[in-house]
Amino acid sequence: MSENKQKLIDLVMRENVSSIQIIADRLEITDHEVIKLINGLIDSGELIGALTEDSKRFYKSEVKLSQAPKIEREDTLPSFLSFNTKPAVTTAIVGIIVLAGGLVVNAFATDEIEGNFAAILILFGMMIFVIGLYSLSKRKTPA
């Protein structure tokens, strides 16, 4: 039994095998015996880890820290995130306001001249709105 325990520790710690089925095949014992061995080794402190809920895998929780030095770095925003959208949004809002003004003038127009003026306001409002949306859409995307 101690030979199986040692083989199990070698499989989990050195070969990084986590599947209970593979461990059982290599040790030539049943899955239930492998689970009993793992639980016994966890209780004795020889293995550190946890079985999954379905008892199909054992994951060791021993974390190895890298010996490489940690390099501090300063995160800078990519250039495409620093695009200023305020002028484009402002232009689009002004276009909506002019468009709304044209609709209001058209609603209360009493003669043909006021109706024509309202139509001109609506067209200018739409044009300003489209220009604002176009300039907003020209934001550069990452390459």
| Domain 2-60 grouped into CATH 1.10.10.1200 | no
Which whole number is the average pLDDT over 95-122? 95
Confidence at residue 1, expressed as pLDDT on a 0 to 100 scale: 63
pLDDT, greater one: 81 or 33: 33
pLDDT at res. 63: 54
- Determine the Cα–Cα distance for residues 93 and 97; give it in Å rounded to an integer: 6
User: Is the pTM for the entire model greater than 0.85?
Assistant: no
Mean pLDDT to the nearest integer, 90-114? 95
User: With 90 as the cut, is the pLDDT of residue 6 above it?
Assistant: no
Side chain identity at residue 53, one-letter code: E
Where are the chain's structural domains? 2-60, 79-137
Q: CB atoms < 10 A from the CB of 75, how many?
A: 4
| pLDDT(123) > 80 | yes
Strand pairing partners for 118? Answer: none
- DSSP annotation of 82 reads G
pLDDT of residue 10: 83
Return the DSSP state at 30. Answer: -
Residue 140 has pLDDT above 70, yes or no: no
122's enclosing H/E stretch is helix 112-137
pLDDT, residue 98, reads 96
**Amino acid at site 138:** K
Residue 108's pLDDT is 93
Query: From residue 14, how far is each of 6, 11, 35, 43 by CA, in Å?
Result: 11, 6, 19, 20
Q: What is the mean pLDDT of the chain?
A: 84
Listed residue (102, 17, 26, 2) closest to 57, CA to CA: 17
Q: Cα dihedral sign for 132, 136, 137, 140?
A: positive
* pLDDT tops 80 at residue 139: no
Q: 36-55 pLDDT, tens per residue? A: 888 888 888 888 888 888 88
